[in-house]
Chains A and B, each alone.
Chain A
């Protein structure tokens, strides 16, 4: 029953899509996290004392023991670069004009790591895992309550 297609351009086909958008609201803990970032310039986490683990961003509950958590632990702004990658292509595989560096940072006081951009690493010595980094926030007037209120991480000397 398998037939060879000799003229692929003659296949009957239809172009379709799923015409939906999603509006994702950040929830109970997320709203507190983004409000604190925008208005108080702090990165909030949640500490579970029983599990000895501090989550970042802040969460409503501990996934290890299910305890309710308060989003009230200020972490950073300094931290450690846990890993990084340098991207040369975009999501479609097209070359980027400038390579972009993304890193995982463990902020001081946190156990979980945060994904964000690493700013201007090209001017410096090659990046190294384990380096000291710090959070760079956008100017307060430009913040919207978004993870992009953090501009990225910067290597500190």
Chain B
């Protein structure tokens, strides 16, 4: 049985749009504050766990090594992990097992992100999360994923966008009480959210968290060390993480089963059998407002489809039955990706210690859950934390306290002495491989092929030579239909670099008839107000002479016509 592990200190920088500090200077400010909060010096730290997002953000390859000095890793065991947006919470998990294994008594867990370095827009660093052959040619951007998932979620439960918008309002209002917040706004209303610019319907500007810079650090200790450091340790009672399939267009977009799996692991470890009674405060991951609701359901804190009405009825407010994102979350405090997740763990620490000041949830919260999400929207990371029972000790401090992190104006950012602008020459050639190569051969011939797995009785589209569930070779090629059903769609008004798209595009996830899968494509020959989930569609092929063995050999999908099989585009 592993020993108990506690969080004993935490610190963070202000989350800002363009930090004057370098990434390592931000990491140092947060780390120094975390150590100071529990009156430790760096020589007491045995090991350092760090996370930070894509190297392409900063143009610094091996960014972990670059950041190591600011994280206090000089001369110590050090490792950086990265699981996309799930990284911040995962770093707390990593610190947990580094201590629980007996390898270290005191660990510094540090999360840093500087997104302002990325030009022209941080989304550019994420374009390669999309499949090089099946998705990138369509020109997807990160908003598509969220918009497609949000639309599917709203459709499945008949949700009202107003209820979802209350999450953005709650979090930005909560953040008005957070001394490190970027987007706190005490007077924001649902009308403001609903009136904001539509980016990729149903996603509007104020549904989305802001690009940010910042860092957060925790001090994590073994039971003996924790008892010597503080009389108010907050225990890491349970941890869990879980991945869904990498084929996101084959996934259940309505319910995040991977988050539920991670939560079940963490609850089991923590001895939580009735999360709705035993969890008193939650910090679910909220890069978009609907995601907080999606994740509260994944965390098994609400029935499927029921979190939005809880938001509407005030249950999630700071003084509600289940305070959710009392920090202000990513929507309000900001979203320096890796750092934002660890901010949630720090908030639980402060809430459970009674140190959150104006953000403090009433009552005597004894246990909370923090969660983050990421990779290709497929990883869930969950931490359950709790304090010793009994009456809460009245906190003598309000945290976070000192909040450095100075924001530069755009003019200062452009004019900073010594600044360099460059690009890492990251060109590549991507081979189709066996399965996708044959799939593309099929498209060139006007056919769609899948691979059959006889064990789980699925026809896989996109095809793969092995079944990721059964972990055995797939058995046979199967020609499937060139028709399908719209699973979800978005109406997208911006490119990845936020330049406007006029007319808008209609990306959609289409399940292919005769298969158990589907893929991303675009819809055409349909008015934006006529598109609907569940609509039967058919592939419109490019003229045969123009096909090249590309996903673009299908020009688009259009509403299915009763009189004909799949259409062909006229010569252009």
Contact = CB atoms under 8 A, between A and B. Distances in A.
Question: Are A and B physically bound partners?
Answer: yes
A1 B417 contact: no
B250 interface: no
B427 interface: yes
B426 A18 contact: yes
A156 interface: no
B68 to A, nearest CB: 8
Which of B31, B417, B434, B437 is packed against the most chain A CB atoms within 10 Å?
B417
B413 A23 contact: yes
A108 to B, nearest CB: 23
A25 B549 contact: no
Interface string B403-427: 0000010000100111111111011
B118 A22 contact: yes
Contact of A17 (B31, B422, B426, B437): B426
Contact of A15 (B42, B419, B429): B429
Contacts of A65: 41-43
20 contacts: A1-B473, A12-B133, A12-B440, A20-B423, A21-B423, A22-B117, A22-B422, A22-B423, A23-B116, A23-B419, A23-B421, A24-B22, A25-B117, A25-B416, A28-B21, A31-B416, A35-B418, A63-B69, A63-B72, A64-B42
Interface residues of B, number: 63
B431 interface: yes
Interface in A1-41: 1, 3, 11-31, 33-35, 38
B230 interface: no
B127 A18 contact: yes
B128 A18 contact: yes
A84 interface: no
A13 B431 contact: yes
A54 to B, nearest CB: 15
Contact of A31 (B28, B122, B417, B549): B417
B3 interface: no
A61 interface: yes
B120 A27 contact: no
User: When A and B form their complex, which 4 residue pairs have the shortest distance between CB atoms, in order from nearest?
Assistant: A34-B418, A22-B59, A27-B22, A63-B69
A114 interface: no
B8 to A, nearest CB: 17
A1 B473 CA distance: 8
A16 B128 contact: yes
B125 A16 contact: no
Which of A12, A21, A27, A35 is packed against the most chain B CB atoms within 10 Å?
A12
Nearest to A15: B429
A145 interface: yes
A64 B42 CA distance: 8
Contact of A13 (B20, B416, B432): B432
A60 B69 CA distance: 11
Contacts of A21: 59, 118-120, 421-423
A23 B57 CA distance: 9
B20 A27 contact: yes
Nearest to B432: A12
Contact of A24 (B31, B419, B426): B419
A66 B35 contact: yes
Given A12-B437, A20-B118, A26 B32 contact: no
Given A20-B125, A21-B422, A145-B418, A27 B428 contact: no
B25 A11 contact: no
A146 interface: yes
B418 A26 contact: yes
Contacts of A11: 431-432, 437
Interface in B121-170: 122, 124-125, 127-128, 132-133, 136-137
